[in-house]
Chain A
Amino acid sequence: MKITLIYGLLLSILMVIAPHAYHLPLWVSALCIVLLVWRSYLAWSGNPLPKRWLLITLTLISLGGILIDFHTLFGREVGVTLLMLLATLKLMELRTARDAMALIFLSCFILITNFLYSQSLPTALYMLVTLMVIMTNWVHLHAPGIAIKPRLRVAAVLLLQAIPLTLILFILFPRVPGPLWGLPQDAFARSGLDDTMSPGSVGRLALSDAVAFRVSYQGKPPPRSRMYWRGPVLWDFDGHNWTPGRATQGIAPQFSATGRATAYSVTLEPHNKRWLFALDMPDSISVPARLTDDFQLLNSEPVNERLRYEARSRLDYHANLQESPSQLQRALQLPPTLNPRARQLATSWRADDDQAIVRRALGYFNEQNFYYTLEPPTLGRNSTDDFLFITRRGFCEHYASAFVFLMRAAGIPARVVTGYQGGEYNAYGNYHIVRQSDAHAWAEVWLTGQGWVRIDPTAAIAPERVERGLSAALTDNTALPFMSRNPPLWLRDLRLNWDALANQWNQRVLGYDSERQFAYLSRFGMESISLQVIYMTAGLALMIALFALYMLRHLLKREQDKTQAAWLNLCRKLGRAGLPRAPHEGPWDYALRCAAARPDLAADLTDLAARYITLRYGTVSDPHTQREFIRQAKKFPSLRGKP
């Protein structure tokens, strides 16, 4: 096997496993790299490949490593890990063309597993480049003799020709709504809001630039300070974690709204959980979703692919003016012994009415020396006490948690609401981007006559957070990702442009599923699958026929001998003048006969015939004489027939 082919295969394996490196155990990546380096060294030095027993030992060791690491030999992550180890170990016994072919097939398969993790535009471009490397190796394997340039050309031609065909297939190939078999639970591990909240859990999300969802408003968007996207509602507190708890029999969610409705559409990134995000309070949504007793929107199944829905919300509302006693009771529960000082503080407010208590609590945050920061000190067992009286530094979850604790201790039903707040406007696509860094936590209290009222204690400490976003609210924002701070304007522009492009990509390419396909194709009258298949087959056949014509054009073209054509033309001219050439006559005999019949043309005719004979039957062909002959033959006058 040629050494250049071995290097090419090494490169393609490296390219297909590289994107997996960041989510695989470190030892797997390290082992792959070691094997790749070892194989390149063996190829370079010409030393023999390792013995079989060594490879078997290595395989068994890595299998053991996987078992220890994942506790199973099944599942997606394990499958991908196994494939990568298989590919690199196969490299160690790469000897024959058969092995090389197996490696090429393996690299194609590993390439596709990469899409389980990312299907972004850069990933697509990276795939094309990798595929080009794989194809070049493939051609190299089956034509060892050809140089690098024609090899690259053949691979590139194959790839370029396949692109229009792929486009036809992509649009017309009937999409089957999946999944065919159950998706494993780990199929789509994504970061996002969780249904438990503990000190630091929202702050961690603030470090992520990832998009949570995109919103485009129909009409004027509401002011930023009113963009509260409701996620999980948390009831139970154990002193450290807030959890949704066990739902009790509540009463159906209801709210009375005043003011105009806000309509918008949301493209939600997959987060593997059931909740959908809508502005408080949603009164309609285009997908089948359930509104829970605490106004959460729950999808019928976990959102593990991008989901687009239309929704309408009323921003001015009174929610559940009547609430069931069991729910109100739930909203007052506290861990019995923890946080005595906070309890004491709240109890001291009990004399006031509910509204006054809320104001006092917010005032407490405002007057005391509280800081809004991403890097709060750690808290002890009495976390609320520590936060309220000692550290006084925290992120939104600290404030929401402490506030709800105080409310409950003061006898006001309260709960924690998590979700997203705000969003960045993208003028290039006329939509808002809500990122993980917009994750937020706030509180809701139930007040007689007003129902559940949203109170955002963070707004009392850092109103900029609600009005202008995270980077404006944090005094020391070095911990934030670079782009969340205050980047130069051109960089911001570039980023928004890029996101607009990514949004188009998501909507048009990645979101093209069975439903969207039906909606798109029925516009062209292709409503049945059989019609779709007919058009697809016809399109492919037509395209391939065009390629075939193009590729075979040199072969199908008749070789046109210009010299002969000029001579035959001359003969036709003479034939029209009553001197047709007899089939048996050679050019010289014919010219002599014509010269005898037309002495006026004799010199020209014999000259032309002599030159024709030299050009056509002689050994040297000189382009200049050929051109001259053709010119002269054309100049030969058209003769009028003589009686």
Chain B
Amino acid sequence: MFSALRQRLRNWLFRPKIEHGTVILTQRRIFILPTRQGWALGLLLALMLLGCINYNLSLGYVLTFLLSMMAVLSMLHAFRNLAHLEIHAGRSDAVFSGQTAKFLLHFGSKLPRYQLILRGEESDSITFDIPASQDYAVEFPLHAARRGWLETGRLTLYTEFPLGLFHAWSYLHFDMRCLVYPHPRPDAPLPTGNAPDGAGKRGIAGDDDFAGLRTYVAGDALPHIAWKAYARGLGLQIKQFTTPVGDALWLNLNDAPETDLESKLSHLTRWVLEAEAQGLRYGLSLPDGELPAGNGSAHRDACLRRLALFDLPPWSAQA
């Protein structure tokens, strides 16, 4: 009962929801409470006031009042340090599992801001100042532990500027996600079973025959976008072309020697990287479908993406 009430209060106060676009930190979104140091100063000021009353120190009153009013005003300054800050989420490049993902956040401010701290739910915090500018990008690092989509979760942006007496904070929960590829297994030579030596070797991806559509991946060439498919509401698709020359190297999940899925995926990740590095034409064969053979960084990223998301439920933002 009590905890339910607390949850409702929390929901009303903090309105947890995931946001898109630009967030402006309005008054409603900024919360302020005294810090431990703030309480300590309050105690000190009370002591000082008692001393002033006892010894009738007029100047003591002046000093006590000055200090307490500066403390009160520091609350206003802390609020101002966050108020009307414009924030929107930027891109984040895919990383391999075990690396650190970097989420870009763009800040717009008409005033310089000092000593802002951004903290994730389970991560270290970063501290930064913002000059008065339209767009100031800040990288928020987050350790990518598992493949799949990595979310920032709810971020806390807070400041204790200028005197450390008040903690002013605001919650940010953007629909930010970063793709995390499986960790590439360190030593995994390419499979030789289903492809002869030299098979699939080709300098460039072909562009003679239309070979099908695949989903758009950031970095794909714009002329290859299938605009007609887009108009039909199928989302951004890329037209793929191949030039059939010899056999392609097929990377099959079942060929990986490991027993558990994650290790197999890790193994395949290394194969993809290796094949790309050697300039081979390669295709990906997974239990839920195949990715036609191809070559080039776009193809590599498409393969890695399939591996990253294989057998995971479709992404939905978690509130």
A residues touching B (Cβ–Cβ < 8 Å)? 101, 105, 108-109, 111-112, 115-116, 119, 123-124, 127, 131, 135, 138-139, 141-143, 145-146, 150, 154-155, 158-159, 161-163, 165-166, 169-170, 173, 175-176, 178-181, 183, 187, 305, 509-513, 544, 547-548, 551-552, 554-556
- Least CB distance, B256 to chain A, in whole angstroms: 49
Which of B69, B84, B162 interacts with A166 by CB under 8 Å?
A: B69
Once A119-B58, A552-B80 are accepted as A-B contacts, the answer to whether A105 and B40 lie under 8 Å apart by CB is yes
Establish whether residues B111 and A554, one from each chain, have CB atoms under 8 Å apart when the complex forms: yes
Kindly list chain A residues whose C-beta atoms are within 8 Å of the C-beta of B67: 108, 131
Cα–Cα, bound, A552→B27 (Å)? 11
Which has the most chain A C-beta neighbours within 10 Å: B51, B77, B163? Answer: B163
Contact B80 A305 (CB under 8 A): no
For the complex of A and B, the 7 pairs showing the least CB-CB separation, nearest first, are: A555-B84, A162-B69, A165-B69, A166-B65, A169-B65, A142-B164, A143-B115
The residues of A that contact B57 with a CB separation of less than 8 Å are 112, 115-116, 119
> Do B69 and A143 touch (CB < 8 A)?
no
Does residue B231 face the partner (Cβ distance < 8 Å to A)? no
Contact A115 B60 (CB under 8 A): yes
The answer to whether A139 touches B48 (Cβ under 8 A) is: no
B110 at the interface (CB under 8 A from A): yes
Q: What are 10 contact pairs spanning A and B, CB under 8 A?
A: A124-B59, A138-B164, A143-B162, A158-B162, A169-B69, A178-B55, A187-B55, A513-B58, A544-B76, A555-B84
- Expressed in whole angstroms, the Cα–Cα distance for A436 and B110 within the complex equals 61
Residues of B close to A146: CB separation below 8 A? 114-115, 129
Interface status of B41 (Cβ within 8 A of chain A): yes
- Give the chain B neighbours of A169 by CB distance below 8 A: 61, 65, 68-69
Provide the B44-56 mask, 1 if CB < 8 A to any CB of A, else 0.
1001101111111
Shortest A511–chain B CB gap in Å is 8
Which of B59, B64, B77, B83 is close to A154, meaning CB atoms less than 8 Å apart?
B77
Partner pick for A112 among B51, B112, B115, CB 8 A cutoff = B51
Secondary structure class of chain B's binding surface, majority of residues: helix
B18: A residues at CB distance < 8 A: none
- When the two chains form their complex, are residues A142 and B48 in contact, meaning their CB atoms are under 8 A apart? no
Chain A CB within 8 A of B234 CB: no
Min CB gap B271→A, angstroms: 45
Q: Is the CB of A101 within 8 A of B164?
A: yes
When distances are taken between beta carbons in the complex, the residues of chain B under 8 Å from A180 are 50, 53-54
Q: Nearest Cβ distance between residue A565 and chain B, in whole angstroms?
A: 19
**Smallest CB gap from A557: residue in B:** B110
Q: Is B37 an interface residue (CB 8 A)?
A: yes
CB distance from A631 to the nearest CB of B (A): 27
Q: Which of B47, B59, B67 has the most CB of A within 10 A?
A: B59
Q: How far is the CA of A381 from the CA of B66 in the complex (A)?
A: 58
Q: Mark B25-51, 1 if CB is under 8 A from A, else 0.
A: 000000000000100110010011011
Question: Are the C-beta atoms of B73 and A161 separated by less than 8 Å?
Answer: yes
B contact residues around A181 at 8 Å (CB): 54
Q: Which residue on chain B has the smallest CB distance to residue A134?
A: B67
Contact partner of B41 (CB less than 8 A), chosen from A105, A513, A555, is A105
Closest-CB distance, B79 to chain A (whole angstroms): 8
CB distance from B61 to the nearest CB of A (A): 6
For chain B residues 72-90, which have a beta carbon within 8 Å of chain A?
72-74, 76-77, 80, 83-84
> B110 to chain A: which residues have CB within 8 Å?
554-555
Neighbour of A115 across the interface among B41, B59, B115, CB < 8 A: B59
Nearest chain A CB to B73 CB, angstrom units: 5
- Report A-chain residues with C-beta under 8 Å of the C-beta of B54: 178-181, 183
Docked CA distance A150–B81 (Å): 14
B162 and A544 form a contact (CB under 8 A): no
Name which residue of chain A comes closest to B114, CB basis. A143
B58 touches A509 (CB 8 A): yes
Would you call A555 and B50 a contact (CB within 8 A)? no
Task: Verify if B62 is at the interface (C-beta below 8 Å from A).
Answer: yes
Q: Chain A nearest CB: distance from B112 CB in Å?
A: 8
Q: Which residue of A lies closest to B83 (CB)?
A: A555
Q: Which of A105, A138, A155 contacts B44 (CB 8 A)?
A: A105
Residues of A within 8 A of B163 (CB): 138-139, 142, 158
Instruction: Write the nearest CB–CB distance from B87 to chain A, whole angstroms.
Output: 14
Which B residue sits closest to A146, measured CB to CB? B114
Measured in the bound complex, the distance between the Cα atoms of B59 and A45 in whole Å is 39
Q: Shortest Cβ distance from A90 into chain B, in angstroms? A: 15
Pick the residue among A142, A178, A509, A547 that contacts B53 (CB under 8 A). Answer: A178
Which chain B residues border A155 with CB–CB below 8 Å? 162
The answer for the CA separation of A551 and B74 in the assembled complex, in Å, is 12
If the complex has contacts A138-B163, A141-B164, A170-B62, are A158 and B77 also in contact, measured as CB distance less than 8 A? yes
Contacting residues, chain B, for A512 (C-beta < 8 A):
58
Set B40, B70, B127, B129: member contacting A135, Cβ < 8 A? B70
Complex Cα distance A484/B74, Å?
A: 49
Task: State how many angstroms separate the Cβ of B72 from the closest Cβ of chain A.
Answer: 7
Give chain B residues whose Cβ lies under 8 Å from the Cβ of A552: 80, 83-84
Contact yes or no, B55 A170, CB < 8 A: no
Q: How far is the CB of B213 from chain A (nearest CB, A)?
A: 34
Other A-B contacts than A131-B66, A173-B65, 11 sampled, CB-CB below 8 A, are: A101-B164, A108-B63, A115-B59, A124-B59, A124-B62, A131-B67, A138-B163, A145-B115, A166-B62, A166-B66, A510-B59
- Find chain A residues with CB under 8 A from B50 CB: 180
How close is B290's CB to chain A, nearest CB, in angstroms? Answer: 45
Select the residue from B51, B70, B161 with max chain A CB neighbours within 10 A: B70
Which chain A positions have C-beta within 8 A of B53? 175-176, 178-180
- Which of B48, B50, B57, B72 has its CB near the most chain A CB atoms (within 10 A)? B57
Q: Which residues of A contact B114 (CB under 8 A)?
A: 143, 145-146, 150
**Cβ B58 vs Cβ A159 within 8 A:** no
Q: Which of A142, A170, A547 contacts B73 (CB under 8 A)?
A: A547
Tell me the bound Cα distance from A176 to B51 in angstroms: 12
Contact A305 B60 (CB under 8 A): no
| B76 adjacent to A548 (CB under 8 Å) | yes
Residues of chain A within 8 A of B72, CB atoms compared: 165, 544
Could you tell me the distance in whole angstroms from the C-beta of A538 to the nearest C-beta in chain B? Answer: 15
| A111 partner, pick from B63, B77, B80, beta carbons under 8 A | B63
Taken together as a complex, chains A and B put the C-alpha atoms of A135 and B41 apart, in Å, by 14
Pick from B37, B62, B65 the residue with the most CB of A within 10 Å. Answer: B62
Q: Nearest chain-B residue to A154 (Cβ)?
A: B162
CB <8 Å contact, B66 and A162: yes
- A547 & B59 in contact (Cβ 8 Å cutoff): no
